[in-house]
Amino acid sequence: MGAHRWSSARLGFVVCGYFAFFCGEIISRAEAGCRERENPNCCTGRNNECFEYSKRKTVCYCDTYCQKTGDCCEDYQRVCQISAAIDCVVGSWGPWSSCTSPCGVGSTERSRQVSIPPRNGGTPCPDLKQRRGCFGNNAICSTAKEVAKILPDSFKRNFKDPWRRPHMLMKEEKASYCVYLRVKQASAACKLKVWSAQLVKERLVCAECQSDAMSKSDRCGGDGLESIRTFWAAASVPGCHGSWVKESSSVGCRCPAYSVLFV
């Protein structure tokens, strides 16, 4: 009788022990996941510190990035109230822009806008800009190809033709104008003469266009284009040539001493 009573009691302890273990496991598993994290339960973006343990005691995550890697905690959708992933949607491409170089090699680009941004780990947006090469052929390109011929200002300043007869028709005198150009390049041969040796890189030069050098269009050939590199050559110094960029011009003026003249 006593032995039977002891056996029943032992069996009861064993059953209760299993039941307690089973109940504890159920409770532990039910509580595992994002809900068990301290605030915040959920994290945005990619955050490797935003993790908890799954029902199987393995590491799971509660950040938005887990939807991509597939390692979210089982209660992630419910606790974080995350809806299905939404992929990025973009509009159609806009027109190509004008060539960055009006003359010669340049680039052009086009863009498009985001219609629907990605959410909840959806596919990110593709490139929103495209660029490709182009070759500018603007109407001003013919002017850009002109090479200015220059001489020191002492060459024709206050020059008077000693052979001109008083009764000979005088050429119509046109108002001169000045062009200020920034030297970008000068060949080594320019150092051979004192006046041309001053044509060094980044120096601002005043070039005067006088009446005798003007063409039918009332301008001097090669007088430059703003923000576009054009070329020049020293008429009295063989091998002296280079490039410059026009910065400004002024009508009815005279350049200061030690400047240059268009010829």
What is the mean pLDDT of each successive set of 10 residues along the chain, which is 263 residues long? 44 43 41 76 86 85 87 85 78 93 85 90 90 82 82 70 55 84 95 94 93 82 85 94 93 88 91
Say whether pTM exceeds 0.85: no
Q: What is each CA distance from 214 to 34, 101, 202, in whole angstroms?
A: 83, 28, 27
181 shares a domain with 193: yes
Closest to 234 measured CA to CA, from 204, 193, 181, 206: 193
Q: What is the pLDDT of residue 97?
A: 94
CATH number where 107 lies: 2.20.100.10
Asked if 152 and 261 touch (Cβ cutoff 8 Å), the reply is: yes
Look up the domain containing 113 and give its range: 89-138
Instruction: Give the per-residue pLDDT at 224.
Output: 85
Give residue 182's pLDDT: 95
Residue 151 and residue 118 share a domain:
no
Q: Regarding beta strands 103-111 and 129-137, do their DSSP bridges make them parallel or antiparallel, or are they unpaired?
A: antiparallel
Contact (CB, 8 A) for 79 and 41 = yes
Phi (first) and psi of residue 137, to 5 degrees? -140, 60
- Residues 104, 147, single domain; the answer is no
98 with 197, same domain: the answer is no
Residue 11 domain-assigned (yes or no): no
Identify whether residues 215 and 149 lie together within a single domain: yes
Decide if 156 contacts 261 (C-beta within 8 A): yes
Question: Are 195 and 211 contained in the same domain?
Answer: yes
Its sign, for the CA torsion 221, 223, 225, 227, is positive
197 and 113 within one domain: no
* pLDDT for the residue 82: 65
The answer to whether residue 83 sits within a structural domain is no
Domain presence at residue 223: yes
Same domain flag for 120 and 151:
no
Does 181 share its domain with 208? yes
Instruction: Judge if 151 and 239 occupy the same domain.
Output: yes
Residue 78 included in any domain:
no
DSSP strand pairing (89-90 vs 114-116): antiparallel
The verdict on residue 238 lying in a domain is yes
Residues 107 and 148 in one domain: no
- Do 244 and 151 share a structural domain? yes
Can you give the pLDDT at residue 5? 47
**36 in a domain, yes or no?**
no
Lookup: tokens for 249 = 């011009």
Structural domains counted in the chain:
2
Q: How far is CA 169 from CA 142, 216, 263, in A?
A: 34, 18, 22
Q: Is residue 39 part of a domain?
A: no
Distance CA 73, CA 202 (A): 65
**Rg value, the chain, Cα:** 42
- Is residue 82, in this structure, part of any structural domain at all? no
